C-alpha cells in the first residue's frame, strides 16, 4: 500500500497551525486558576522557557533527519518524549519518527510511535490525524479489521474524505464491495472540488467496483 496521504498534512504546517490557534492561551487558561499573581509570573517565565527548549530540540531533530543524521534525530526525539512530553513537540516528533519508520518498512515500530504521537497530541484534531495514520499502517500490514476499528475512533466528519476513502480500501480488502462503495461515495461527497487529482483516483476506485458488480451480476 502506498502512503500518499501521509504527506497531505505536512508536519510543519500542523505545528504552525497549532501555535497560531493556541499559542500560550491554553497554558494561560490553566495557569490562572492554579497560581497567584506573583507565582503566575514566575511560572509563565519557566513555561515559556520550557516550550522554547522543546521547540529548539524539535527543530534540531528535523534538521538531523534532513541532513542524514538519523541517530541524532532519534536521540533528540527520545529527549522530547522523555523530558518534554507535556508539550505538543513530543507529539510532532513521535509522528515524524513514525513516518521515518514507515519509509524504512518498520511498520510495527511505526504503530508504537503513532500511539505515542496520539497520546501527546495537544488537541482532538491532531489526535484524529494520528488515528488516521495508524489505520493506514494497520491496513498496510494486512490488518483491515484493526484499521476499521481505529477509523471508528475518529470523531465524525474528522478528515472525512481521506478517512472514508481508507475505510473503503479496508472494506475492499475484507471482500465487502457494497460497504466499500458506500465509503468511497461518502469520501467523494466530502472531498468536493478541493482535490481534483485525488478525486480522479477515487472515481477510479468507484468505477472499478461498479464494473466488478456488473460482472458478478
Q: Break the chain into its structural domains and give their ranges.
A: 1-20+52-143, 159-217
What is the pLDDT confidence band of residue 199, given thresholds at 50, 70 and 90?
confident
CATH architecture group of domain 1-20+52-143: Alpha Horseshoe (1.25)
Secondary structure, 3-state, the chain: CCCHHHHCCCHHHHHHHHHHHHCCHHHHHHHHCCCCHHHHHHHHHHHHHHHHHHHHHHHHHHHHHHCCCHHHHHHHHHHHHHHCCCCHHHHHHHHHHHHHHHHCCCHHHHHHHHHHHHHHCCCHHHHHHHHHHHHHHHHHCCCHHHHHHHHHHCCCCCCHHHHHHHHHHHHHHCCCHHHHHHHHHHHHHHHCCCCHHHHHHHHHHHHHHHHHHHHHC
pLDDT band at 192 (very low <50, low <70, confident <90, very high): confident
Residue 128 pLDDT > 90, yes or no? yes
pTM of the predicted structure, to 2 decimals: 0.75
Mean pLDDT of 85-92: 91
Amino acid at each position: 500500500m502506498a502512503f500518499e496521504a501521509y504527506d497531505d498534512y505536512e508536519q510543519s504546517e500542523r505545528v504552525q497551525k497549532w501555535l497560531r490557534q493556541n499559542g500560550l492561551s491554553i497554558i494561560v487558561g490553566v495557569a490562572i486558576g492554579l497560581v497567584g499573581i506573583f507565582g503566575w509570573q514566575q511560572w509563565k517565565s519557566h513555561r515559556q522557557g520550557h516550550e522554547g527548549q522543546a521547540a529548539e530540540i524539535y527543530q534540531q531533530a528535523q534538521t538531523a533527519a534532513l541532513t542524514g543524521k538519523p541517530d541524532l534525530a532519534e536521540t533528540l526525539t527520545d529527549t522530547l518524549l522523555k523530558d518534554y512530553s507535556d508539550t505538543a513537540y513530543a507529539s510532532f516528533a513521535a509522528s515524524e519518527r513514525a513516518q521515518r519508520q514507515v519509509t524504512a518498512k518498520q511498520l510495527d515500530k511505526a504503530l508504537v510511535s503513532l500511539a505515542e504521537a496520539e497520546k501527546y497530541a495537544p488537541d482532538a484534531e491532531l489526535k484524529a490525524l494520528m488515528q488516521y495514520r495508524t489505520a493506514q499502517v494497520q491496513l498496510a500490514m494486512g490488518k483491515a479489521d484493526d484499521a476499521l476499528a481505529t477509523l471508528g475512533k475518529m470523531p465524525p466528519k474528522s478528515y472525512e474524505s481521506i478517512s472514508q476513502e481508507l475505510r473503503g480500501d479496508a472494506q475492499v480488502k475484507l471482500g465487502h464491495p457494497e460497504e466499500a462503495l458506500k465509503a468511497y461515495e461518502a469520501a467523494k461527497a466530502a472531498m468536493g472540488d478541493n482535490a481534483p487529482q485525488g478525486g480522479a483516483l477515487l472515481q477510479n476506485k468507484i468505477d472499478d467496483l461498479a464494473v466488478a458488480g456488473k460482472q458478478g451480476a
